[in-house]
Every structure is written in C-alpha cells, then in structure tokens.
Structure 1
Amino acid sequence: MERIHSVLSVSISEFKQNPSKVIEEANGEPVAVLNHNRPAFYTVSPEVMAQMAELYDEQQLAKHVQSRLKSVSRAVKVDLDDL
C-alpha cells in the first residue's frame, strides 16, 4: 500500500467531473487524486507550491554549501587589502 501525503483525497473520476469544486472544497489544502485507490497526482494551491519550491531551493543550496565546506581546509587566507 502506498502512503498518501495529504489528509484529503478524491477519486480521479470525481475529480474529472468537477475539478474546480474539488479545489474549492479543499480550502487550500493538498488533495490526493486517486486512480484505483492509489495516488495518481496531487493538487496544491499556488501558495503551497511556492512554499514547496522554496524548500526545494533551500535544500539544493544546503547541498551546495555542504560540498563547499568539504574543501574549506584547502582555502587560502587572503587579506582584503591585498586584493
């Protein structure tokens, strides 16, 4: 059984009948759209999508920082006045 990552869910048939109604009734909460009782996709509000995109960007930046920190021992100390 797959885990559903939302409190609300709806069948794909019901979603296809009236997607606007499903989104409106969700009041901004994510909705799992199920096909044969398995998540086919999720609908999220633009605000939730923006939050998820920001979290993803932060995660990617954190990975980049971690990789840079591994090479800090090879750093060369430079005085700003010498630049």
Structure 2
Amino acid sequence: MLRKIHASLSVSISELKRNPQAVIDDAHGEAIALLNRNKPTAYIIPAETYEMLMEIAEDVELAGIIEQRRGEKADAIEVSLNEL
C-alpha cells in the first residue's frame, strides 16, 4: 500500500535513537517523517511550528464559536448613551 509522506525528510526510529539531536539539527527547521518499517508513524517538527499550529487550531475553534453565536437570536435591548 502506498502512503503519502508529508515531509521532504525522513528518518528511521533506529537512526533517531542513535543521535536524536543530530537528526533535528540536520533538518534545519524542516519537518521530519519518523518511519517504522518504512511507514510514517510520527512527524518531528520544530517547537515554533507546533506552537503556530496550536494557535491556528485555536483560531479555527474560536471562529466556529463566533459563527455559531451569530446564528443565535440575542435578546438585545437598544439603549442610548444617555441611558447608560
């Protein structure tokens, strides 16, 4: 079965075990596919990339909440500035 690898770099688990920091350094900030028996089992990404992805995921979640609330009928009462 063919599998798509979503990284231009890959490393086997045994290679990673030998010298993990060297593998990370050699990637120069790019994502690394971790292979087990020639199948991707995980991806190693820089911390900054992971943090950015988490922020994007949070933004998507918040956008969903906003869209949901837009559809809700609010019991709004109009007031003037003088009434405040």
Between the two proteins, the alignment pairs up a number of residues equal to 81
- Percent identity of paired positions between Structure 1 and Structure 2: 37
CA gap 1:21/1:78 in 2 versus in 1, 3 angstroms: same
Q: How far apart in 1 are the matches of 2:62 and 2:78?
A: 25
4+ aligned runs moved over 3 Å, structure 1: 80-83
TM score, norm. by length of structure 1: 0.84
Structure 2 unpaired stretches of 5+: none
TM score, norm. by length of structure 2: 0.83
- How far apart are residue 18 of structure 1 and its match? 1.0
Q: Which residue of 1 aligns with 2:6?
A: 5
Structure number with larger C-alpha Rg: 2
Structure 1 unpaired stretches of 5+: none
